């Protein structure tokens, strides 16, 4: 009997884990990245200074784009609710209503560096959460298969 209860408990936990994984997921922007500068087509007689060959840049902000970010179609975030919880920065990313996928772009201060990640096509809404820790500013984009409600 104990073995049967344990098996049922494990099966229920696995099912809940699978449901959560399908219904929501997170994209965390790396807080710091190392950048090494490279100059191409160096004009004759010039050289790059040794003290600026590499630098570490810190996370600054997130932007959600409809289609490839190079097309410059950024979405304006709204305030509203997802699954009964209020959020300040929500984007609707319902791929089934559109033909282009959505992307999140993580931007980094004092540079033009941006890291790009495609948002899973099954998601319908995403919201941003910003926080700070000992390494600095942190950004997390949480996405859900639930639609956003009461947007304003």
Residue 74 placed within a domain: yes
In this structure, the number of other CB atoms found within 10 A of the CB of residue 146 comes to 15
Residue 114 placed within a domain: yes
The pLDDT value recorded for residue 55 is: 81
| pLDDT > 70? residue 126 | yes
Closest Cα to residue 26, out of 116, 151, 144, 142? 142
SS3 10: helix
Residue 85 placed within a domain: yes
Residue 108 placed within a domain: yes
The pLDDT value recorded for residue 69 is: 94
Residue 122 placed within a domain: yes
Q: How confident is the model at residue 12 (pLDDT cuts 50, 70, 90)?
A: very low
Domain that includes residue 78, residue range: 26-39+48-144
Residue 107 placed within a domain: yes
The pLDDT value recorded for residue 39 is: 79
Q: How confident is the model at residue 51 (pLDDT cuts 50, 70, 90)?
A: low
Is 34:54 a contact under the CB 8 Å cutoff?
yes
> For the chain, what is the domain count?
1
Share of the chain above pLDDT 70, in %: 82
- What are 64-105's pLDDT values in tens digits? 999 999 999 999 999 999 988 999 999 999 877 667 899 999
Residue 8 placed within a domain: no
| pLDDT > 90? residue 27 | yes
């Amino acid at each position: 009997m104990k073995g049967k209860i344990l098996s049922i408990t494990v099966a229920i936990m696995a099912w809940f884990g699978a449901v959560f994984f399908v219904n929501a997921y997170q994209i965390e922007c790396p807080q710091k990245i190392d950048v090494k500068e490279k100059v191409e087509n160096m004009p004759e007689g010039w050289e790059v200074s040794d003290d600026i060959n590499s630098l570490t840049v810190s996370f600054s902000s997130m932007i959600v784009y409809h289609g490839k970010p190079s097309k410059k179609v950024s979405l304006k975030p709204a305030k509203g609710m997802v699954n009964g919880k209020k959020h300040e920065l929500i984007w609707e990313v319902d791929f089934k209503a559109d033909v282009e996928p959505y992307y999140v772009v993580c931007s980094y201060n004092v540079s033009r560096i941006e890291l790009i990640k495609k948002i899973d096509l099954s998601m319908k809404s995403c919201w941003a959460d910003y926080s700070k820790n000992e390494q600095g500013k942190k950004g997390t984009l949480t996405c859900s298969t639930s639609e956003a409600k009461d947007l304003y």
